[in-house]
Amino acid sequence: MKYENMTDSDKKKIIQTEYIDNNISLKNIAIKYDTYANKIRRDAIKFGISLRDKSEAQKNALNSGVHKHPTKGTKRSLSTKNKIGISLVESWNNLSETEIINRKQTAKKLWDKKSKNDKENMLTKANKAVRQASKDGSKLEKFLSECLIKDGYKIEFHKEQMLLNTKLQIDIFLPTMNVAIEVDGPSHFAPVWGDDALKRNINYDNKKTGLILGKGLVLIRIKQSKDFSKSRALLIYQDLKQHLDQINIRFPNIDNRTIQIGE
């Protein structure tokens, strides 16, 4: 029997059975009973049958094999992955202040919902990672070093014993260009470990700045205020590379040998 010739009772039963119980889409129900999907939709609403939202409908279509997943099984090139990542970072940077506040509030709500044990475990792991990075170098330092080497720069990683016999390290040193690169994580400008630790770090950085400039080097300070992501790191490297290209063309005078990258 065609759908149009059925009673409302029969139509309701069919929609209930096919759509709710058998998880068949409105489109396929319409095909099966020789009618239109919108007709099935209108009747479902009339009979008080809850319709799946767009997300649920898409998930159902993927699970049933009606639609093919747009990315599953697809291998993207490194260049494509980088472009996608950079696009996401730029989208975030272009968010309005209101949108950023809303996202932060959502993140805070998710954090508040975590159990005390989950919070303590996450903080412990984060603190351990920060301390380890201070010894071995941060992810951003290593990433920038790899990029510089790949582009043909001679570098010395965590260069020590060149600043007037002190044990102060230069994060990344370019000896042939007389350039020192310092990557400053949050503990360099925020009280991550408390106010006293922040004061010590600021004094440490000021002393290092003086020693680096005193040796006639160019100092490039990179402020890392967000967690490491490859896409964000690529943007930082692009900025760094532009400064290095300018230094290659003309070494800056003594008043312009401190360069800041980042927020």
DSSP 131-195: HHHHHH--HHHHHHHHHHHHTT---EEEE-S-STT--PPEEEEETTTTEEEEEE-GGGTS-TT-H
* 4-50: pLDDT as tens digits: 889 999 999 999 998 888 888 888 888 888 888 899 999 999 999 88
Least confidently predicted of 56-60, 210-214, 252-256: 56-60
Which ranges of the chain would DSSP assign to H, the alpha helix?
8-15, 26-32, 37-46, 54-64, 78-93, 97-113, 116-136, 139-150, 195-214, 230-249
- Tokens for 251, please give them: 């070494």
- Tokens for 2, please give them: 């065609």
In angstroms, how far apart are the furthest CA atoms of the chain? 95
Domain ranges of the chain: 3-64, 78-132, 136-261
Three-state DSSP class for 218? strand
* 135-186: pLDDT as tens digits: 567 889 999 999 999 999 999 988 876 676 666 789 999 999 999 999 998 8
Q: What's the CA gap between 79 and 229, in Å, rounded?
A: 15
The answer to whether residues 237 and 85 touch, using CB atoms and an 8 Å cutoff, is no
Q: What's the CA gap between 66 and 252, in Å, rounded?
A: 63
- Tokens for 80, please give them: 């494509």
Which class would CATH give 136-261? alpha beta
Q: Which range has highest mean pLDDT (62-71, 93-102, 191-200, 211-220)?
A: 211-220
The secondary structure of residue 226, as a DSSP letter, is S
Q: What's the CA gap between 170 and 192, in Å, rounded?
A: 22
- Whole-number pLDDT of residue 209: 92
Three-state DSSP class for 30? helix
- Tokens for 19, please give them: 């759509």
- Whole-number pLDDT of residue 194: 80
The answer to whether residues 149 and 156 touch, using CB atoms and an 8 Å cutoff, is no
- Tokens for 110, please give them: 């998710």
Q: Which of 188, 189, 171 is nearest to 180 (CA)?
A: 171
Q: What's the CA gap between 186 and 44, in Å, rounded?
A: 55
- Whole-number pLDDT of residue 104: 73
